[in-house]
Structure formats: C-alpha cells, structure tokens
Structure 1
Amino acid sequence: MNEIETIFTQALIKSFIEKGVKSVSSLFETQMKKVNIIAKKKLENDDYRYFRDNYDLEISENEVLKHLKSNYEAAQTWSNEVNFSTAISSKKLNNIFVDIDLHLSPIKTRFDSEELTRTINSKNLIKDFTKNKIVYGGAGAGKTTLIKKIFKEVTQKNNDFSFPVVIRFRELNYENENYKKHGLFKILVDLIGINIAFPERFIEDFSSEYDYILKNTVINFFNDCEVLLIADGFDEIPDNSIKKRIERDFNSLALELKGSRFILTSRSNDFQLLLPNTNVYEICSLNDQQIKLLIGKWISSKKKSKELYDKIKSSPYYDTTMRPLTLSHLCAIYERKQTIPPKPRYIYDFVLNLLLEAWDQQRSIVRQSDYADFYIEKKKEFLGHLSFWLSFQLGKNVFDGDDIRKCYKKIHRSHNLPTSQAKKVVIELENHTGIFIQTGFNSFQFSHKSLQEFLTAKYLSALPRIPDIEVLNKLPNETAIMVCLSSNPNYYFQEFNQYFKHYNEQFWHVFFNRLIDEKPDFTENPGVLIFFINNMWENENSIFQKIFLVLLAQTNLKVSIKQFFEIYDLNGTYADYTSFIFKDLKIPIMERNYYPAKLHIDSETYKILKNYT
C-alpha cells in the first residue's frame, strides 16, 4: 500500500471525512427546505416542479475520498521537484531547498524603506498555525518553492491537520463560467468531489441561495475535517473580476474557519484585503550565507561552487542574485556550461526578460494588462524612460508617490498611457514584473539597482544622439553600461576626447571602474587607445594608466593597436618617452575625430603596445 493509500485509509482520516460528509448532508437538507419554499413563491407551477426535481446534493464518502486522494497525489508529484528551463533536468526539492527569511509584515506597510522589520525563518513558519497565513513575495522570490516545502512538512510530520488540500491557481480552468460567477467556493466544492445539482436556468434567480450553499458546504466540511488549505499563486489568476471575487471569498474563510486554516501565496500588490485572523508575511531577499548555500546545493563540487560564488559576488549584478529565481537560473546555466555569461549586460538582459516574460511563459501564465498595447516591449521602454527620469532628474534610488507622479506626467504620452493613473500603472508593473516594487507606505524602488542602471542605459543608448554632457556626468555607471551596449563603443570615446575637460574627476573614477566590470567589446577604431594615450600624458592622475592596462589585459582593446600605428608615425624616441605625429595633418581636426596632432607615450607603455603588434 503506497503512502497516499495509507493516509486516506487511516481510521482517523476516514472518520473526519465521514463527519464532514454527514455535516454537509445535514446542511443541505435544511437549506433545501428553505430554498424550496422560496422557489414555490417565486416560480410558476411547472418551473417550480422542475426546480424541485432537479435541485439535489450528490455526495458520498467514497467519491470525496477519491477526489481528495487525487488532489493529494497531484500535489505530491508537484511538490517533489523544481523545474527550470535552463537546467539539465528537474531538481528534487529536498536537494536544493534553502530555508529563507520572511518579514513579519509586508514591506509596503513600513513608514519608509529604512524602517527595520522583524523576521522569521521559514522552518518556523509552520510551527504555529493558530491563524491563517498569507505569504507575499515579488517575482522569483521563492513563494511556490516555499509552499511546496510546507506541503511536504504537513504530510511528513505530526501537526494539527488531518490532511492538506492544494489549489494551484495557475492550473484552474478559467473558461468555466461557474468559477467566474461563484469563485473560490465553487472551485473547492468541485475539488472535494461534492456535486450540488442546481438547475442551471435558475441559478441567476437564486444566486444568493446558491452562493450560500456553496460557501457553507466548504466551511462545514473543512471545519469538521480539520484540513490545511494550501493556495498557491493568487496573482496568477488571469481575470481581475475573478480575483476580486476570490479575494472576498478568502475573507469569508478567514472569518468562519474554526478547525481548519489556509496558507495563501501572492505577489505583494495583488491580494489587497486585510483579512481577520490572518498573519501576513513577505519573503526577504536572500542573504549572503543563503546565496552560498543555494549555490552549494546546485553545484556539488566545492571548488566549482566557490568559483561561481566568487564570480557572482564580484560582479555588478550581484544584487539580482538575491532572488532565488535568478540565482537558480545562473546555477543551472553554470551546471550545464561550467561557466556563466561573461558580460554583465547579458545577465541584465536575461534577468529582465526572465522577470518580464520568460518565467510566466514557462509556466503558461498570462497576465492581462489594463492598458491597450502595454505589452512586454512597451513595458521595457516605459521602465527605461521612467528609470532615466528618476535617476537623472531626481537622482534617487528610492522614490515617493509625488516623485513618480512628476516623472509619469513627463513621459506617459510617449507610451500611450492615461494621464492620471501613475500609481495604477506602477502597481501593474509590480504585479506583472516584480521589477518596480513598493518598499514602504509611500516609497517605491526598482527591485535591483543594477536593473535600474541597465534600463537607464538602454534608454540612453536608444536615443538618436549621444546624451548631453550634463546627463553623462551625473550618470557614470549608466554611461559605462551604455558604452558597452553600443555596437561601436569606441565612438563614445571620440566624444570624450573632444569634451574631456567638461567631465569631472569623480565621473572618470566611477565610469572607468564600471567599464572594467562591464567588459566592453571594442572595435578596431583607435579612438579609445588615443583617448588613454593622450590623457596618460596630459594628466597626472594615475587612474588613466591603471585603467588602460586593465582594459588591454581583460578586453579586446588590443585590436585597435594596429590601426593606431597606421595613422600615426614615429616622430622621435627619447629617454623616457616616444613621440608620434598624425600622418596626414592636412585633414581638419573635426574630420579626424579630434585626434591630436602629436602624442607622447611613456617608454613602458610603448613597450607593452609593441608587444601586442
């Protein structure tokens, strides 16, 4: 006899179910008498007889057991594994699960983003079920993985529940008109295996009576059977009207459940009702130790696991790996290829696509927008434009409602969005993408600073000309990413050559260090080489030489050396430097991209350049 058969043939479980079936039968008998009296008054004789003959309850212990066993079996299969499109194969949940931390209240209820909230570790979440639980989390925060672990804990350890009942909202058939009209309780009645035969043509006339019997059938059965209802992915319900209906139904459950409880997962701004008798949590970002642990569970070799951790830790996209989804995908890629994409911009793009589209596509989830034509590419464009305004005009990483409204007012027309719906648009972006999130009562921010920088850089790189110096000076990190996104990064250095004195020292320090992290792909154009050679000689600041040597060693900058020697002639060799002159000085300086007539290279650097030719 397998585990499922064992559970559902236990005398205690059968006794609970028998009690639940009897309770529902008694409820229906009482309610049927009341409804028949109402129907007799409302309907003509023939209609009443038809109604009376076709209004009935079909319930049996065997049928309920069969449905509950089927639900349990499906949930057991679902909870055993975690699947990622980038992985070689699915992973056993127990092999890769890492206990995470949860805030004891949603972060959006904080006074501001600096306010500290108390936390609880996930292994303690199931120890106390005196109240219902809602677990919030952004896209890829690990809600479903956590709820799978909770299901396994409930089935494998002694607890207050006779058995779990699992709803996975993404898998329900929302074409079912009864689910649209009658919500959660109709879904649960079908799941339990109770058939309330209510004449279809009269449901509209007796909708309140029908809803009453659905609701009380579920509540009576649950209270008698002492079950844990596990409901995963409220945010994955595709229809907003059904969402609102089911949200209200959870409020009824919270008020009326006695021996049973529920645990529900949702993205933060999707489920909005404050329910009685319900504790609310929000999943924290992974901490450094949890990131190490998760990598170690994916990559069995300690040496390789450390190598991957070190690569991620030293990268500019480290903040994106604080989400289990992103980190797991990077681990899966590393497991398959023994490396991860070498350029950070590939990771930014991968994460952005994952959050905006790919993760939902892999799970066949469709999220309907309230705005026409606000599809994925438009959302990317809007997020890029918004991130630019917030970064440049406000210079902030955390914004309040007024900040967002100011920026939205400037850009909404460019994206065909309504004038006065800034907050609604932002909430949709949070619910659908998890890229822009509410972090306090009146504070918002991008989920990862590196994504805000990348989106800003994407916006800047798509402009028809190089942005103004004022913009670049204020956004050195974004400028470095923008240069790397370009098909011709060298072109920007021609601009830097021409307007060098307009950039401040702080800009160069931040820009250069981020440029090294971002690993640009240079062309054969010698503009970058000339920029560094000229400024190593003209400026006492050693950063130019240091960065130049690093770029030579770590990027393909060396491809431009040959062309440099083709346009400059040796003009003289001295004790500690070599002089070069532009070959054709008849070419006006504008036409030669503002390349200097003369350049001086110190002997050590000249030797390095010659070694590359």
Structure 2
Amino acid sequence: MNELVPILGKELIKPIIDNFSKNFLPWIKQEKRSIFKNTVRCLPEKLEVHCIDIVNWSNKIPLMGFSNPRDTELFSTELEISSNINTRNTVISEEEFLNERTNSIIIGSPGSGKTTTIKRLIQKFFTNHDSNFAIPILVRLRSLKFESISEEVLDIFGIQPKYVKLEGSKPDIIKAFIGEEPIEVFLPKFLNYNKVLLFLDGLDEVRTEIQGEIFNEIESLGLKLNQARIVVSVRKSHFTKRANHFEYYHIRSLSKDRIIKISKKWLPRTYKAFLKELELKPYTDLANRPIFLTILLILYDKENSLPEEPNEVYEEMTFLVIRDWDEQRGIKRKSKYSGFGTRAKLRFLSEVAFALMYKLKSKSFNSKEIGNIYEKLHKKYSLPIEELHDVVSEIESHNGIIIELGYNKYEFSHLSIQEYLCARHILTLPFSKEVINYFHEYPEPLAIAICLSQAPNEWFANLIRNRNLVNRSKSSIRRLLERLLVEVPTFDKDHELGYTIVQIMFDTHGDEEAKYLILDFLKLLNTKESLVLVLRDYQFIQVVNNACTLSRLSHEASNLFVTHPAYGDIHLDYIKLLDSEGLIDITKIDKIPT
C-alpha cells in the first residue's frame, strides 16, 4: 500500500471516475438540468482531485515522534467492530461492514481508532472492485467550510447552490436551491442515483454551536437514501441521541491478543520485554486504547522504559517529541530562538491548543488564526512579532505535533493531544467563572485536567460543586464522566470526593445513561469508599420508585470554596451496589425496604 496513490491513479481512480461520469450524464438529461453544463465539464477533474486527496489521507497516519506520517497498512491493524452496542455479541470484519447497505454510525471512545478505521475502509473500497457503491466521498467534519453537510458535499462535485430569501419570512430566512429544487430535496436524489458512499468523520468535532443542526441534517438525509449510504464516526460521549434509519456499531477495546499483535508489529525484537514491563504498570488496562498503546510503544522504543504513572504518559511523550525531534533525525542544533526551548515550546503549544478550543472554538486553524494567537503570546515568550512564520515553522519542524492538512490548514495530529495540551494550560489558570463556562462548552479537557492535577479530589470538587456552577448540564456531566472513565484518575479516599459524587447523583437523577456511567465510575479507586464516608452525614427520608431521598444532617462547611449537596434523590441501585460489596448494611438503613 506504500505506492497506493500512483497505482490507484492509473488503475482504480480513473475507471471509478469514468464510470461515475457516464452515469451522471444521462441523469442530467433525464432531469433536464442545463444548469450543470459547467459541472459536467469540470466533474472528472474535481472527482480526481477528491479521490487522490482521500487516498492520500487514508494511506497515512500522523504520529507524534515521527517526521513523516506512518503507513496505515503497516502501522495499524483491523479493529473489532461490534454490530450491537449493548450486548456486543456480533463482531463483523471491515470488509463485511463495507458491504453493508444501511446508514451506519461508528461509535468509540477517544483514541479508540475511529478515524483509522475510516481510513482503512476507504483503502478497502479502492482496492475492492466488488462494491455496492460507485464512489466514496469523505467530509472531515472538524474542517467544514460550510455550515451544512449538503453544501459541503455538493462543493466536492463543483455544484454551487443559489441562495434565495423566502418572501415574508421574519426573521429573514435564506434557503439554498439547486435549480428550482431546495438543496435538501436535490441532494438525496443526487446521492441515490450516483450510488455515493458518504463518509462523515468526527461528528463530535463539529463546532459546538452547530452540532445539533448538523446531526439533524445527517438524520434527515439518511432517511431519504436507498441507493446511497452514510457512514459517520463519533465519540461515545457525544452519542446522546439516536438517529432514525441508522445502524450503530461500536469499536471494541483492544483484546490481549491484538495488543500483542500490534506490539510485535511495532517492536519485533523487544515486544516481549515491553509487554512484561507494561504488565507491572498501574495503567496496564489503559493500553486497550490504540492511541495510548501507540504512545507507549513509541516511548519504549525511544527510551527503553515506560513512565511510572498514567498521567505522566502524555507528558513524557510531548517532552520527548519536542526535545529529541532533531536528534532522532541525526541533526543536533540549538533552537533558532535561544529562549524558546523545550518547556517554552510546550507551554506555547498548550496555550495555542487552549485558544483554539475555547476562544476560537475550533479543532483546526489557518495562518491568520494562528497569527492572531501569536500576536497575543509573542511578548510572553520573548518572540519577535515579525517572525511569526519562522516560529510556527520552527515548532512544526521540531515536533510534528501540529500537522498540515492542506494549503493553509493545520491541526493537532490527534484531538486527544490537543485536549491534553489544553488541559495543561487550564491547570495554570486561576479557578474562575470562565473555567465553569468551559464545563458547559467542552468538558473533556477539564476531565484530563482533573487527572493531571496534583490534587484531583479538590479539582473535581471545585468544578462540580463550585458556587458559580448554577446549572449543571446533564450532558456535560455525562461527557465529563465518560472521559474520566477513559483517563482513570488516581483519587484519594476523602469526604470531598464523596460529596462530589453525591452532587453528581443528585444532578443526574432520572437520567438512565448517567446512572450506568456513575455505576462504572464507582469502580475507580477510592470512589465507593469516599461515598460511604459521606452517606453517614445524610438521613434517608423516603424511598419511592427506586429513588432514595437524602437530606444532609450536618451544616459544617467545606474547607474549599464549594457547597455541600444538601437535599436530593439518588437511585437505589447505588445503595445496592455498596451493600453487595459489604461497604454498608442496607438492612440497617431506615426507610429502605430489604
């Protein structure tokens, strides 16, 4: 697959485009669409550019620590795709998934291999002539040019809508039309007739303010397809609403056999020693995530050892990559800017990640956007204002954490890396109302900040029980818990953690999805024990329909600037869990039937 693009350019891409163009022409005649004259002329070239672009994209995996992206076929493996999220009984192969006809949503945790799986599926499409579909189209949702999927897709084909203000509408409503048809009517007909396989990668990476609209548009489009198909990838934490006419698939965690297989592929000579050391680390269970395992493999390959604690893994990796980038290429030189060393670069990158995430609210950026950030930061790092381009190039050439998507478009090599760097910067800020706002906007970096903090219990309490957090969004709490379960913080046993857990139970009562997340959360170190500590401070008022009403007996204040949860309902299942593990005796709690 190393020479995939040249081969496909001659043998596969051209026939696919020719066949598509031949089918497209009679459709235009049938529809009497003279407006497509320019489209017909430009279509082969447009499609060739797009096909080459997605082949190039699918053929490489950008990895921290390497000057060039790695080959997808050589450095990845087929992951287990489960066709049922709840029971996870049926595993299908990539080839079987590709031959499905139904619209599909691929769900996975951060770093589980969703995007890599999309890349492998695209590769298989181009190397498998026996497909149900005529052509693959890819839209990377983190880099949308338009605010609708329809416009984004049609732009690939060179089809430009006209925009019409609807008469008498207040406020003004602008609608997009292709000829005389609304774009939402035209696009499904177009996709069906041309048998398009539409990949939408990273629904969770769409800008927060338009995520709901994009989801609704995808669902509406999916309902109208019968000869075309949509494949969407999304993080599990953002999967809060089911889409009609879509089947759901879950990327399973790596099994022990797959961990061995991947390790052997990366470290053919030392994989046994790597696996032996990994078994002794407290984060051995976290290696079931492809991104985490990959980082561990890179660290071991370069350092011949592994970090001691889980919160050191990303830090060790970023330090290593920035510090040793030139040395691994055999070039030993001092940074062009003497004061802009490894730690300064890491702080700078962390601020850039933070500014993109919470100020620009974006996962990718262009030269102008990074330039605006640089203008605000250059004095802090003693960097000359006129050296913007050189400094950005210096960072990129040193580390590869930032990769180039195309002309004047950049992003962090993986969203998890951007979130980690963002969390590093958040930990340097005072705990303010802005941090509370970040909880509502994008809670994942805050979960990582809790894990990186030297005082995770206090950081967690300050976030959830902060007096400024008036409205605790159930959605944000679910996303926070989901990410904490992935990152596995090292909590201490104390009252503050216990009260924070009670607060979350109060705030999410009645939310079944949150309940199961909390039950999983109570498997983390010292969580159940901390909960038991504070339940002694509560009176059980009543139990109705599996809901326990609790009222706090003590009025003693916390040493932190937070409130104690005073009154609320929690699900009886939490109490039953503590009882089943012998942490409390349910028979001695008044008001609870035994």
Instruction: Give the TM-score, by structure 2 length.
Output: 0.57
Distance 2:143 2:484 in 1: 20
Residues 118-137 of structure 1: matches in 2 within 5 Å?
A: 118-126=89-97, 128-137=99-108
Asked if the contact 2:163–2:177 (Cα under 8 Å) also holds between the matched residues in 1, the reply is no
Asked if the contact 1:326–1:351 (Cα under 8 Å) also holds between the matched residues in 2, the reply is no
Note closer, same or farther for the CA distance 1:328–1:61 as it changes in structure 2 (3 Å cut). Answer: same
- The answer for the alignment partner of 1:16 in structure 2 is 20
User: CA offsets, 1:556-590, max 9 Å, x none?
Assistant: xxxxxxxxxxxxxxxxxxxxxxxxxxxxxxxxxxx
- The answer for the alignment partner of 2:140 in structure 1 is 168
Amino acid at match of 1:414: N
Note closer, same or farther for the CA distance 1:389–1:341 as it changes in structure 2 (3 Å cut). Answer: closer
After TM superposition, give the deviation of residue 223 of structure 1 in Å: 1.4
Q: Does 1:63 align with 2:63?
A: no
After TM superposition, give the deviation of residue 315 of structure 1 in Å: 1.8
- The answer for the alignment partner of 2:288 in structure 1 is 322
After TM superposition, give the deviation of residue 271 of structure 1 in Å: 4.3
After TM superposition, give the deviation of residue 125 of structure 1 in Å: 3.9
Note closer, same or farther for the CA distance 1:7–1:217 as it changes in structure 2 (3 Å cut). Answer: farther
Note closer, same or farther for the CA distance 1:283–1:370 as it changes in structure 2 (3 Å cut). Answer: farther
Distance 1:252 1:28 in 2: 26
Distance 2:79 2:136 in 1: 22
After TM superposition, give the deviation of residue 269 of structure 1 in Å: 3.6
Note closer, same or farther for the CA distance 1:80–1:297 as it changes in structure 2 (3 Å cut). Answer: same
- The answer for the alignment partner of 1:337 in structure 2 is 303
- The answer for the alignment partner of 2:62 in structure 1 is 83
SS at match of 2:131: coil
After TM superposition, give the deviation of residue 447 of structure 1 in Å: 8.4
After TM superposition, give the deviation of residue 449 of structure 1 in Å: 9.2
* The structure with more radius of gyration: 1
Asked if the contact 2:61–2:72 (Cα under 8 Å) also holds between the matched residues in 1, the reply is yes
Q: Does 1:238 align with 2:204?
A: no
- The answer for the alignment partner of 2:505 in structure 1 is none
**Structure 2 gaps, min length 5:** 1-5, 320-349, 358-400, 403-410, 423-433, 489-510, 535-594
Distance 2:66 2:261 in 1: 18
Q: Does 1:102 align with 2:107?
A: no
Note closer, same or farther for the CA distance 1:316–1:244 as it changes in structure 2 (3 Å cut). Answer: same
- The answer for the alignment partner of 1:427 in structure 2 is 478
Amino acid at match of 1:418: V
After TM superposition, give the deviation of residue 14 of structure 1 in Å: 2.7
- The answer for the alignment partner of 2:149 in structure 1 is 184
After TM superposition, give the deviation of residue 381 of structure 1 in Å: 5.8
Q: Does 1:3 align with 2:8?
A: yes
After TM superposition, give the deviation of residue 76 of structure 1 in Å: 0.8
Distance 1:344 1:224 in 2: 51
Distance 1:424 1:324 in 2: 26
Distance 1:7 1:19 in 2: 17
Note closer, same or farther for the CA distance 1:311–1:416 as it changes in structure 2 (3 Å cut). Answer: farther
Distance 2:226 2:199 in 1: 16
Q: Does 1:218 align with 2:269?
A: no
Of the structure 1 ranges 190-199 and 430-439, higher mean CA displacement relative to structure 2 is found in 430-439
Note closer, same or farther for the CA distance 1:232–1:71 as it changes in structure 2 (3 Å cut). Answer: same
Q: Does 1:372 align with 2:437?
A: yes
Residues 377-392 of structure 1: matches in 2 within 5 Å?
A: 379-380=447-448, 388=457
Amino acid at match of 1:235: D
Q: Does 1:286 align with 2:286?
A: no
After TM superposition, give the deviation of residue 135 of structure 1 in Å: 0.3
**Structure 1 gaps, min length 5:** 31-55, 108-115, 174-178, 391-406, 457-466, 472-613
Note closer, same or farther for the CA distance 1:198–1:58 as it changes in structure 2 (3 Å cut). Answer: farther
After TM superposition, give the deviation of residue 255 of structure 1 in Å: 1.4
Q: How many residues align?
A: 398
SS at match of 1:316: coil
Residues 525-536 of structure 1: matches in 2 within 5 Å?
A: none
- The answer for the alignment partner of 1:347 in structure 2 is 313
- The answer for the alignment partner of 2:198 in structure 1 is 229
| Larger RCO: 1 or 2 (CA < 8 Å, sep 6+) | 1
Asked if the contact 1:439–1:445 (Cα under 8 Å) also holds between the matched residues in 2, the reply is no
Q: Does 1:196 align with 2:201?
A: no
SS at match of 1:341: coil
Distance 2:118 2:267 in 1: 24
SS at match of 2:100: coil
Note closer, same or farther for the CA distance 1:208–1:156 as it changes in structure 2 (3 Å cut). Answer: closer
- The answer for the alignment partner of 1:152 in structure 2 is 123
Note closer, same or farther for the CA distance 1:433–1:228 as it changes in structure 2 (3 Å cut). Answer: farther
Distance 1:370 1:172 in 2: 27
User: CA offsets, 1:404-449, max 9 Å, x none?
Assistant: xxx98x973437423443x222234267777479996730159899
Asked if the contact 2:62–2:413 (Cα under 8 Å) also holds between the matched residues in 1, the reply is no
- The answer for the alignment partner of 1:443 in structure 2 is 516
Which is helix-richer, 1 or 2? Answer: 1
SS at match of 1:230: strand
Asked if the contact 1:135–1:282 (Cα under 8 Å) also holds between the matched residues in 2, the reply is yes
After TM superposition, give the deviation of residue 96 of structure 1 in Å: 2.1
After TM superposition, give the deviation of residue 104 of structure 1 in Å: 2.2
Instruction: Give the TM-score, by structure 1 length.
Output: 0.55
Amino acid at match of 1:233: G
Amino acid at match of 1:237: V
Residues 257-268 of structure 1: matches in 2 within 5 Å?
A: 257-268=225-236
Distance 1:349 1:66 in 2: 45
Distance 2:520 2:50 in 1: 36
Note closer, same or farther for the CA distance 1:148–1:209 as it changes in structure 2 (3 Å cut). Answer: closer
After TM superposition, give the deviation of residue 155 of structure 1 in Å: 0.6
Amino acid at match of 2:267: I
After TM superposition, give the deviation of residue 59 of structure 1 in Å: 4.1
SS at match of 2:466: helix
Distance 1:431 1:189 in 2: 35
After TM superposition, give the deviation of residue 22 of structure 1 in Å: 4.7
Distance 2:318 2:41 in 1: 49
Residue identity over aligned pairs, in percent, reads 18
